[in-house]
Amino acid sequence: MKIENTTSQLTLFVLVIFLLFHFIINVLFLSFDWEYTINWKLVDYLFTLFLIALLGIIHFNLNEKQFVAISKFGVIFLNDTKFILILLLVFFTLNLIFEVIKLFYATRYLPFLQLEMNFVLSIAITYFFLYFLTKWTNQIKRKNIKKLNYLYYLFIIIFGFIIIIYWISPKEENNSSVVWYFEILLLLSSAVLFSLIFGIKIWIPYTQRRIQKNILLYSFLLVASLIVFISKSSENYSGLGFSNYFFSEFSKFFGFILLVTYIRTSYFSIVSLPFSKVLEKKIYEVNSLSYLSRIVRNFNNLELIYETIAELTFNTFNHSPVWIQIYKNNSFIVKTFKGTSEKQIFDLQSTPTLFKAIKRIKIPKVFGRFIELQGGELENQIQNTIFESFCIIPIFFKETVIGHLIVANTNPYQFDEDDLDLLISYVEALSISIEGNFLLQETIEKERMQQELLLAKEIQRNFLPKSIPKLENVEIEVFFKPSDEIGGDFYDFILLGEKKILILIGDVSGKGMSASFYMALLKGIILSCRRKFENPRDLFVQINSSLFKNIESKIHITMAGLFLDLQSKSFEFIRAGHTPAIIKSNGNVQVFKPDGIGTALVNSKVFEKNLNLASGEVLGGEYFLLFTDGLPEILADKDISEGINKLKNLLLVSYFNDSNELKEKILSEISNKGTKIDDDITFLIIRIKY
């Protein structure tokens, strides 16, 4: 309790001055044998009234009125109880010291000093008894608490009037008896009233078992101490004696209420202790589920969740061995364990039949004896485990059992069906975490793939021609669209002089980063060979020689090349496993499909042997259409031959002024199909204008 309020500090200072005044006046009474006249009686009453006022100011400024959860109130009550016990022990110890001194040293001032000491202690005890009694009632929510508190304060005021009446009334036996009986009646009524206000049985059952034991111990000590304190006889006072008597009686008044309170506390503690272990377990279970709900949000740390569930289960089930096993093919991985060893876990499931029996468990089960787990037919076959009883909870992911949470014990029938509920809650939280982790990893993988595709797109953009070369009397249009962020289609232009150009188109099998990588490799080979070949056939042979045995067997590259010699007005078309070219000249449309095997599939000798050229004369007005397989597939629902026929008919029956108009007609035909593009589409249109 801290006195931080300025008003309370000032009041406390004035209180000390008043107590000093009381001491000095009583010293004078003792030294000069003054008479206790009516004037001094008035001073005594006024002095007592001022002390009550000062204590009231301090009390109402310091009184704690905030509510506390009943599960936490036990700790506060125990701390306050310790303080009260210490206060009473200080009172008894100091009085004992005075009594011992009086045996060896007699003086008229020694009893006086003891009286003054008891006066100060009575004020402190009165104040703190009232403070704690009021504090407890204000910290637990009860119905009609305000009305009961007002009635309680009224009883205190009535008791104060009784003390005054007893002090000022003639000390006749009949009068004293009536006042005494009335005082006892009021004392009992106040104790009963406080019992109604302060509901001990509301919070005791929810207090921790350890705190309950301590409360019971201190309650016994306080019951004994309060009986001694209340039983002490009133003393004869000289000087300002009413104040001594007033606070002494009030300390006994509150002491009696505390005595009844601690008797009740002892009783309810004794009654609650046998059930506190069960309640404490339930509270622990609730707290553990609350804690676990916070942990499971951390999907990217499954190991921590495994460890947390094992720890919580281990503590909940009285340190019974626990482990979590996750299945992988026909074996299992122990993710975490407590109270056992991996050797004991693997020894338990060393027999394939028993391992399969555990793995087949799809609903939470309790096995009271090991024989129930292994099955009757295996009763005499498996003797290699120290465990007898089991709780086994399956762990599901997408309706498939992927593992089990297993709690074991060396004693039979250690678990019952009620134990399954908490374990099921743990496993459900674990399943949510596993699913969340899977989704998180899936998201990370998608993000990684997205980044990979963006990188591949950048690589492809860097290796595709930055612009279309300008060549006299040649008009070139390009359409390139990958199905995803990146595909395997590519094209290139190799200028071999002012009048010669080699136009390449190809398709790397696959998509994404791998396709981009092999496209970069192909581009590097073309760059290294572009000055070392005399005709397209030589270039293709060199490319195959470089790629064969240097790329994965499942990867292959198809290519086609159109070589235009405008000086000799001729062309050559070569194809290595690629789609044919369509040429329109003088109103006629032809499909050029010379023989050729895809690159990197066979050795150079076989490749060169099967590689042929198609050639012809360039008269002027020709249209050359080079394309990858994505174009005919989308035009004819994956039927490449039918798609090529449609392209051939399109060039035959359509009229177009230039290569751009032809490009738009092809794109319009694709749009009219309304088919989703799920493959790369690349095509080049070359028009000879002279």
Q: Report d(CA 389, CA 410) in Å as an integer.
A: 7
pLDDT in tens, 287-345: 676 666 776 666 678 888 889 888 888 988 888 999 999 998 888 999 999 999 999 99
Helices 109-138, 145-168: inter-axial angle, 10-degree rounding:
160
Q: What is the mean pLDDT of residues 8-25?
A: 81
- Could you tell me the residue ranges of all domains in the chain? 6-275, 302-441, 465-688
The domain made up of 302-441 has a fold known as Beta-Lactamase (3.30.450)
Superfamily of the domain at 465-688:
PPM-type phosphatase domain (3.60.40.10)
pLDDT in tens, 102-159: 888 877 788 888 888 988 999 999 999 998 988 888 777 666 667 777 788 888 888 8
Distances (CA, A) of 627 to 479, 517, 526, 617: 9, 21, 19, 21
Handedness of CA 401, 441, 306, 340 (dihedral sign): positive
Band of the pLDDT at 234, cuts 50, 70, 90?
A: low
- Residue 381 is predicted with a pLDDT of 47
Give the three-state DSSP class for 313.
helix
Instruction: Tell me the DSSP string of 325-353.
Output: EEEETTEEEEEEEESS-HHHHHHHT-SHH
- Residue 497 is predicted with a pLDDT of 80
Element (H, E) at 193: helix 173-197
Instruction: Tell me the DSSP string of 458-493.
Output: HHHHHHS-SSPPPBTTEEEEEEEE-SSS--SEEEEE
* pLDDT value at 377 more than 50: no
Q: What is the mean pLDDT of residues 6-24?
A: 79
- Residue 260 is predicted with a pLDDT of 94
Residue 13 burial (C-beta neighbours within 10 Å; 0-12, 13-18, 19+): exposed
Closest to 281 measured CA to CA, from 319, 322, 317: 317
pLDDT in tens, 637-648: 888 999 999 999
206 Cβ contact partners less than 8 Å away, ≥ 6 residues apart: 70, 71, 74, 279, 283
Tokens of 602: 């066979």
CB distance 310 to 320 below 8 Å = no
- Residue 378 is predicted with a pLDDT of 43
Element (H, E) at 188: helix 173-197
pLDDT in tens, 17-57: 888 888 888 888 877 778 777 888 888 888 888 888 888 88
Choice between 401 and 676, residue whose per-residue pLDDT is larger? 401
Element (H, E) at 60: helix 38-62
- Residue 219 is predicted with a pLDDT of 95
CB atoms within 10 A of CB 622: 18
What rounded mean pLDDT belongs to the chain?
83
* pLDDT value at 365 more than 80: yes
Q: Report d(CA 351, CA 515) in Å as an integer.
A: 49
